[in-house]
Amino acid sequence: MRTTLSFLLLMTTVVISGQKHQSGYSTVPANLEKNAHAIYRYYHKDIERVSVDKIKTTVAVAITVLNKQGESAGLFQLSYTDDTKINHVSGKIYDAQGDLVQQIKKKDYVDYSDFQDFVFYSDSRSMFYAPKINKYPYTVEYTYSTTTTGILHIDFWVPVEGYGVAVEEASLQYTTPKELTYTYMAQNHDFITHKTEPDVNTWQQKWTLKDFQALKREAYAPDFRSVFPYISLTPVEYDYKGYSGEYTTWQGYGNWVKSLIEGTTQLPAATIDRIQAMTDSLPTTRDKVKAVYQYMQHKTRYVCISVGIQGFQPMQAADVDQYGYGDCKALSNYTRSLLSAIDIPSYYAEIGADNQRIRFTDFASADQTNHAILAVPMDKDTIWLECTNPYNPFGYVGSAIANRKALLVGENGGELVDMPGYDKESNILDKQLTLKIDPNGDATADYAIHASGLLFEEYGFLTMGTEKMQKDYLLTHLPVNNLTINNFNLTNEGDEKASALLTIQFSAGQYASRAGDRLFVPLNQLSPLKIKLPPSEERAFDVQFPYPLTEISRVHLNIPENFEVEHFPEAKKIENNYFSYQYSCEVKDNRLVFTRQFSLNNKDIPKDEYTELQETLRQIKKVDNAKVILKRKA
């Protein structure tokens, strides 16, 4: 057995930190105090690749928790599966003077199954410990070692846990036999790196980060992997559950995925006959694809299966057909099998959903994807099928997977393609309000909201809930005081269009404020600007909104009998590279008509223009708060 110099140095660190007094913990580095709620004094991770299918990992970490906001940094959680054996785990707690106050033994850790309720089966478990100390600052040390069998990728290394956490020193060291090569991608930091040759048969590479100051959380900052330093480390040669090979490109990774889905599409003869009979009379290929997709939606339900190779390989299509459930891989593959039964080709695809995405076209790694979907090529376009949501409109690409890369798996391996995106003309929230005000300022109203594009998701998927849940949602989300909902209706407009319509009849006491013989009526009560930014600050990151959009509001205010309009706001128009805003008011036939349109033209705004952005939003909010004044006639 080979013992590397780095491992001895690591163990020396552990032994030294095991002393009953650590004078270094009694002070906090002045250069790391700014914005910090916790400081990693050291974080050393040593990964040794023993063979093509086995790695050993040793970690030693010490965290000084400065205040209550930093407590989460001092928690310990180690996730593992049946493929990972925990060889050792221990910890220590030191007080503000650096004196040892507690040794954490293995029995002190809580061991639990950590999969969520929608997971059908998983072998994922966690060991967890929360320090029982409330005098700050305090320091916790943790050391552990594991052995993992079955290697496809190595979990990416993140030396900075999150906002408010500083790092005095952190290092990742990777040791491997020379015949087992690797690739890596370092992001968001200029790591100090050294590659050495401990002996003629071994490579060793080390990445180091020092004196990293804590980052302050910013509103609308980019996602975690766009901000914090990390290293993604991928072995070229792999051996996982009997599937072995090598990849350095997405095409090669796609070949591995192709080997997993081969031989999984067989269906019972009765199902094939049913699908053929169901689609034979349909006139177009698109109609047939739609029929098959909706058949799958009605027949199956989503459950997560994450154990062993099932974390990467779909279950047999025949089993999905028999039991009526599956995860994203299984349901996508089942739909592929159904389409194949009527001679319609489709392609299994991997993608990163939500905050995970394929970020690097020139660096292939399994940790850039976490979801499976289906692509069906047509003559002029491609139909994308999200197979896990039984309420999804046919062909709808939701916010979790829109505007990013996907990996199509075909005969020649993997191919990266672009998913559809959405612009401000696609994401539209159109609101119409007919408002009646009585002389006391109380209101009755008919209100309609039409949501399309990605804005469909807030209202369209609300149809899945009960009537009580829907009504409770409306009561808490409509910005109206003294609200009573008299009636409402929520519908999805068709099974192929991402569009939802919500109609509401409501009443509200004191909707308008009264002063003598005047009523002050807010015109934009139901469409306030939702973008909220803190006061001027020196931004570290660009401003990144979720997506571009357009909001249109029309208000028809019936002027109460014996009242007249004394004042209404003048028309206003504000435009720059990022926002378009228009506001107008006019009186027609004893009715005041108010129109407002706001467009977010671009979701990404450079940090250097933050002050201008704030000023524009301030102007919009000022206009949004304008009121019409109604005066009782003499």
- Per-residue pLDDT tens for 229-277? 999 999 999 888 888 888 999 999 999 999 999 999 999 999 999 999 9
Is the pLDDT at 543 greater than 70, yes or no?
yes
User: Exposed/middle/buried for 330, CB within 10 Å: 0-12, 13-18, 19+?
Assistant: buried
Is the pLDDT at 75 greater than 90, yes or no?
yes
pLDDT at 589: 85
Reported as a single tens digit per residue, the pLDDT across 38-51 is: 999 999 999 999 99
Stretch(es) of the chain classified as CATH 2.60.40.3140:
5-244
Stretch(es) of the chain classified as CATH 3.10.620.30:
247-418
pLDDT at 10: 43
Stretch(es) of the chain classified as CATH 2.60.120.1130:
428-632
The Cα–Cα gap between 337 and 317 comes to 7
* CA distances (Å), origin 220, targets 144, 166, 604, 606: 36, 21, 10, 12
- CATH architecture of the region 428-632: Sandwich (2.60)
Quick one: pLDDT band at residue 538, thresholds 50, 70, 90? Answer: confident
Quick one: pLDDT band at residue 442, thresholds 50, 70, 90? Answer: very high
For the beta sheet containing 38-51, the strands, ordered from the edge strand earlier in sequence to the opposite edge, are: 100-104, 84-94, 138-149, 54-65, 38-51, 165-177, 202-212, 192-199
Rounded to the nearest integer, the mean pLDDT of the chain is 91
Reported as a single tens digit per residue, the pLDDT across 196-242 is: 999 999 999 999 999 999 999 999 999 999 999 999 999 999 888 88
pLDDT at 12: 40
The Cα–Cα gap between 77 and 139 comes to 16
Q: Under a CB-based contact definition with an 8 Å cutoff, are residues 32 and 106 in contact?
A: no
Query: In 3-state terms, the chain is what percent helix, strand and coil (to 5)?
Result: 20, 40, 35
pLDDT at 310: 60
pLDDT at 588: 86
Quick one: pLDDT band at residue 83, thresholds 50, 70, 90? Answer: confident
Judging by DSSP bridges, how do beta strands 549-558 and 428-437 pair with one another?
Answer: parallel
pLDDT at 537: 72
Mean pLDDT of 466-494: 91
CATH of domain 247-418: 3.10.620.30
21 C-beta neighbours (distance < 10 Å), count: 12
Reported as a single tens digit per residue, the pLDDT across 348-389 is: 999 999 999 999 999 999 999 999 999 999 998 999 999 999
Quick one: pLDDT band at residue 494, thresholds 50, 70, 90? Answer: confident
The Cα–Cα gap between 567 and 595 comes to 16
pLDDT at 25: 86
Is the pLDDT at 305 greater than 60, yes or no?
yes
pLDDT at 152: 83
Quick one: pLDDT band at residue 114, thresholds 50, 70, 90? Answer: low
The Cα–Cα gap between 444 and 554 comes to 16
pLDDT at 306: 64
Mean pLDDT of 92-108: 94
pTM of the full structure: 0.89
Decide which of 3.40.50.1580, 2.60.40.3140, 1.20.120.400, 3.40.50.880 is the CATH code for 5-244.
Answer: 2.60.40.3140
